Amino acid sequence: MERLQPYWEKIVHFWREKHITKIFLLLLLIFILLSMLFFAFMATTANVQSLKEGLRQSTIIIDKNGEEATSVVTNRTSGVVVEELPDHVKNAVIAIEDHRFFEHNGFDLLGITRAFFKNLFAGRITGGGSTITQQLTKNALLSPEKTYKRKIEELFLAVEIEKHYEKDEILQMYLNQVYFGSGAWGIEQAASKYFNKDIQKVTISEAATLAGLLQAPSAYNPYKNYDRAVNRRNVVLAKMHELGMITEAEWNHSKEEKLTLIEGKGSFIERKYPYYVDAVLDEAISKYGLTQEELLTRGYRIYTQLDPNIQSSLEKVYENKKHFPKGKKNTLVQSGAVLLDPSTGGVLGLVGGRGEYVFRGFNRATHIKAQPGSTMKPLVVYTPALENGYTVTSVLKDEPMTFGDYSPQNSSRKYSGEVQMYQALEKSLNVPTVWLLDQIGLEKGVDALQRFGIGIEDEDRYLGLALGGMHKGLSPLQLAEAYSTFSNEGKRYEGHLITRIVGPTGNVIAEHKPKSTKVTSKTVSNEITSMLLNVVETGTGTGTQIKGVTLAGKTGSTQLPYNDIKGTKDQWFVGYTPNLVGAVWLGYDKTDREHYLPNSTSEGVVPLFKASMEQSLQHVEPTEFSVLSVNDRLAGKEQKTVDRKKEIIETVDKIEETLKEEAPKWKEKIDSIILDIAEKSENLLEKLKNIRDE
């Protein structure tokens, strides 16, 4: 230590001589000042003037064309007028949430200091310290994250709101949009939900109960936690008494009053295109971290990939029971369908079921996880096989065989000994497919599947994966996204509904960032399409043929777990044109010995898929594949790419011919213009010369 003493003294001397402490303090103050200026600037740029109107608006769903498609309407959007509220209702909320509400200018310094030390001792952001104005700011303009940055933004925005609105206006906005639990937004709906009465008629005790819910609506829900709700009510009443908002007699009477619950109607929700809209809300919650309360109370504008024509067409197909097998014992055969644009991954339309549907209920287009059957074959077997040197005419073994303890069978129980690859896919033969996966290696298949955006469990790592053997399965959305690779030259875009979400003041809350994944080469993608064209032309998907439309696709089905019953559990068809991909699942929500699909895919999901695509393609620009089916190639037909080249050459020739015809006319016009300019130039020079001579 003695050796180090001279060095330490030199450091201290240098530190004092150069005033390092003062410099650090100055830099810290500059940083704080710049930060405050930044947050103040951000607050002034927020359009808080439109906040009041924005909170009264419903959440709007915008379609792919930028037009309003529908709105998510709840009966909280009307709200109450604060002047019509009984004083004890307003006072209950103010007492427990912000008793200095009428004294501060948006933030309460004492409350913030108290909350800061509370968070400091807790070692994390626990909340607290927010005024009613700050809570309104947080609920209406900011994300729900608990960080100091968000807290500072909240503070400056609260001050800005206080500049533009009176206290009663702020209180009214807050009471009309805040969540009280049990699906009730706004204090008027809360009074109806818990006491089945108008807000003007609630007692002091009931008003205190409602105010007590605001801190934690679920924890203090009187239907689920009655005693905790009563204790919380008494805390609110004590605070009201302490602040002189109620008399001694009112306090004593109210805390002894029995809390009588009469469940009434809370908030209702109306919207057009219910399955699509609910999928939009699901995506906003799961992908962008928003809450259901935010989405239903902030008047957001959600921009989506929705095509109203395609969505309406799909809904009409699902409303027509002739497209579905007859259910058993009053149970509907269910289905889910997705149609998306392969060039963007944008979901143009979806339907998630039949029959009655509740808000954000089970959506079979996005929520279901069903085994995909043979629709997996192109993804997990034939794509990696082509990548590893096989061709569409490669010969595969087609005979009974066993792989360890796994013995796949063709559905027909018939075998040809050998079969070419395209024939195995066209006829959906199982054994040649499993044999091929074994030849190229299971890991190559798993790797390909992951590139298609499909994850698997450890239990799925066996050769049965070739036939769709999965423990959890897929949704139609996942399958449609995977197959979009083939109509997009080997590239896959993430399937999505939302493009961006805009808040009530015009601020962008969330935005989709397009990202493509290179799944396979264009050559391999075209070869798969060539084989899947065969499936529709002469294979298991002939029932999906649509006049004037070239369609590629694949059937899929899963076996029943009962050997003595003939039928299927799940049925699939996924198909595509160059600019539209569709995936349809058909089956029962719960399969048992009474509820299963007795018919094959050709009588079940295939005609349903055809009807869905036939109606939807009317609203899509007609296009053709640049490749031919294997059938046409073997028949010696020329590739359509050659025809397209000819078309381009012909177009260029026409342009050249037009130029030649028009050139003399253009030359005359140009010559005329040049002569005119020359004459005017000579006149100008002559005038300048005359001026100079004078």
Nearest to 94 by CA among 250, 217, 210, 267: 210
* CATH code: domain of residue 250: 1.10.3810.10
d(CA 180, CA 87): 19
d(CA 199, CA 81): 11
- Cα atoms in the 13 Å half-sphere on the side-chain side of 357: 23
Tokens at residue 182, please?
């049990």
d(CA 335, CA 325): 11
- Domain membership flag for residue 674: yes
Residues with Cβ within 8 Å of 459's Cβ and at least 6 positions away in sequence, in order, are 471
Tokens at residue 436, please?
């091929």
d(CA 165, CA 693): 75
Q: Catalytic residues, which ones?
A: 97, 374
At 158 the pLDDT is: 78
In this structure, are 116 and 20 located in the same domain?
no
In this structure, are 28 and 116 located in the same domain?
no
Residue-wise pLDDT for 345-400, tens only, equals 999 999 999 998 878 889 999 999 999 999 999 999 999 999 999 999 999 999 99
d(CA 133, CA 25): 33
At 642 the pLDDT is: 40
Residue 536 CB neighbours (<10 A): 26
At 184 the pLDDT is: 83
Tokens at residue 62, please?
């915008």
φ and ψ at residue 633, rounded to 5 degrees: -65, -45
Q: Domain span at residue 688?
A: 644-694
Helices (H), 292-414: 292-297, 308-319, 377, 383-387
d(CA 237, CA 246): 8
- Domain membership flag for residue 113: yes
SS3 for 518? strand
Residue-wise pLDDT for 27-76, tens only, equals 777 776 666 555 455 545 555 555 655 556 678 999 999 999 999 877 55
In this structure, are 11 and 112 located in the same domain?
no
Domain end (from 223, 256, 289): 256
Residues of the chain with pLDDT under 50: 39, 43, 124-127, 144, 146, 148, 641-649, 652
In this structure, are 102 and 246 located in the same domain?
yes
In this structure, are 26 and 149 located in the same domain?
no
φ and ψ at residue 340, rounded to 5 degrees: -135, 160
Domain end (from 237, 256, 275): 256
Rounded to whole angstroms, the maximal C-alpha distance in the chain is 118
At 25 the pLDDT is: 81
In this structure, are 119 and 192 located in the same domain?
yes
Q: What is the DSSP letter of 69?
A: E
User: Sign of the CA dihedral 485, 486, 489, 490?
Assistant: positive
In this structure, are 227 and 87 located in the same domain?
yes
In this structure, are 197 and 116 located in the same domain?
yes
pLDDT averaged over every residue in the chain: 86
CB 532 within 8 A of CB 551: no
- Domain membership flag for residue 242: yes
In this structure, are 185 and 119 located in the same domain?
yes
Please count the structural domains in the chain.
3
Query: Looking at this protein, which amino acid is placed at residue 653?
Result: D
- Domain membership flag for residue 400: no
Domain end (from 239, 256, 273): 256
In this structure, are 15 and 117 located in the same domain?
no
Share of the chain above pLDDT 90, in %: 63
In this structure, are 86 and 234 located in the same domain?
yes
Q: Which residues of 632-658 are buried (b: 16+ CB within 10 A; e: fewer)?
A: bbeeeeeeeeeeeeeeeeeeeeeeeee
- Domain membership flag for residue 136: yes
Beta bridge mates, 583 = 338, 574
Is the pTM higher than 0.75?
Answer: no
- Domain membership flag for residue 124: yes
In this structure, are 178 and 126 located in the same domain?
yes
Nearest to 170 by CA among 185, 181, 180, 160: 160
- Domain membership flag for residue 481: no
Map tokens 């949704």 to a residue.
475
Residue-wise pLDDT for 130-183, tens only, equals 888 888 877 665 554 545 455 566 666 777 888 888 999 889 988 988 888 887
- Domain membership flag for residue 100: yes
